[in-house]
Amino acid sequence: MTWRQACLGVALALMLVPAGQAASWSYCDQPARANLVQTDRMLRFGHLVENILDETAAQAVVVSRSGFDLERFGLHYSHAGVMLRDEVQQGWSVRQLYFDCAAERPRIYDQGIPGFLLGNEEDLPTFISMVFLPPDEERRLAVQAHSKPVALSLLGQTYSANAYPFSTRYQNCNQWALELLAYAWGNISLEAPDRRAAAQGWLKAQGYQPTQIRLGPFLDVASWFVPLVNRDDHPANELAEGIVSLSMPDAVEDFVHQQVPAATRLEICLKDTHVVIRKGWRRLDAKCVAEPTDQVMQLQ
Residue 124: the pLDDT is 85
Q: Could you count the other beta carbons within 10 Å of the beta carbon of residue 161? A: 26
CB 140 within 8 A of CB 297: no
Distance from C-alpha of 118 to C-alpha of 113, rounded to nearest angstrom: 9
| % of the chain residues with pLDDT over 90 | 63
Rg (CA), the chain: 18
| % of the chain residues with pLDDT over 70 | 83
pLDDT confidence bin for 20, thresholds 50/70/90: very low
Query: Count of domains in the chain?
Result: 1
Q: How many helices (H) and strands (E) does the chain have?
A: 11, 11
| pLDDT at residue 194 tops 80 | yes
The CA–CA distances, whole Å, from 247 to 84, 162, 208 equal: 21, 8, 10
The DSSP call for residue 190 is: T
Q: Is the pTM of this model over 0.95?
A: no
To the nearest 10 degrees (0 to 180), the angle between helices 173-185 and 249-259 is 10
Structural domain range at position 129: 3-298
pLDDT confidence bin for 271, thresholds 50/70/90: very high
The DSSP call for residue 194 is: -
Query: What is the dihedral sign for C-alpha 82, 100, 12, 167?
Result: negative
To the nearest 10 degrees (0 to 180), the angle between helices 173-185 and 135-146 is 120
The CA–CA distances, whole Å, from 177 to 44, 245, 299 equal: 26, 16, 30
- Summarize the confidence of residues 116-120 as an average pLDDT: 81
Q: Which of 5 and 81 is assigned the larger pLDDT?
A: 81
